[in-house]
């Protein structure tokens, strides 16, 4: 590793999604999107549902879909512990669209008094929208 790269790891409770040296990573936090470059100040932040964009040291761009978690930025290392993280090329777009539509239909059936269930379904819709957005961004970059 040199001063122009960062060690990067992203893991979920089920698996290690990615572990390699990168040039930069952009990710969604609860306070907004941030980009981390070599030499970034140390921080810990809560992650939001969204798309992660990574530039690898070979110049290749990788895109991931993320649903919650934490990021820790150290002097030369970035570690993400995610609730859910998927590489764009692993996502089945049709299944994601179907899941989003089922969640939208579920919202119609909920009474306004069931705020907890309403929030749960909204989170599911956001997750599926993020998954399809990640695939579209990955496809555009890798054409």
- List the chain domain ranges: 6-89, 91-141
Contact in structure between 67 and 99 (CB atoms under 8 Å)? no
Whether the pLDDT of residue 111 is over 60: the answer is: no
Exposed (0-12), middle (13-18) or buried (19+): which is 82, by Cβ within 10 Å?
Answer: buried
Whether the pLDDT of residue 12 is over 90: the answer is: yes
Q: How far apart are the first and last CA of the chain?
A: 29
The CA–CA distances, whole Å, from 122 to 42, 110, 127, 140 equal 32, 11, 9, 27
Name which of 8-12, 38-42, 84-88 the model is least confident about: 84-88
Which two three-digit tokens encode residue 143? 């054409």
pLDDT for the residue numbered 130: 81
Query: Average pLDDT, whole number, for the chain?
Result: 85
Q: Which CATH number fits domain 6-89: 3.30.70.2190, 1.10.10.10, 2.60.15.10, 3.40.50.720?
A: 2.60.15.10
User: What is the radius of gyration, based on Cα positions, of the chain?
Assistant: 16
Exposed (0-12), middle (13-18) or buried (19+): which is 21, by Cβ within 10 Å?
Answer: middle
- What gap in Å lies between CA 132 and CA 96, rounded to an integer? 7
């Amino acid at each position: 590793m040199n001063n122009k790269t960062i060690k990067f790891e992203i893991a979920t409770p089920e698996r290690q999604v990615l572990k390699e040296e990168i040039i930069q990573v952009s990710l969604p936090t609860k306070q907004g999107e941030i980009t981390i470059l070599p030499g970034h100040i140390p921080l810990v932040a809560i992650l939001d549902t969204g798309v992660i964009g990574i530039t690898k040291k070979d110049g290749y761009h990788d895109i991931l879909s993320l649903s919650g978690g934490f990021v820790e930025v150290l002097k030369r290392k970035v570690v993400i512990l995610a609730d859910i993280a998927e590489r764009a090329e692993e996502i089945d777009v049709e299944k994601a669209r179907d899941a989003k539509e089922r969640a939208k239909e579920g919202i119609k059936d909920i009474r306004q008094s069931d705020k907890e269930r309403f929030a749960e379904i909204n989170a599911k819709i956001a997750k599926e929208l993020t998954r399809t957005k990640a695939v579209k961004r990955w496809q555009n970059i890798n054409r």
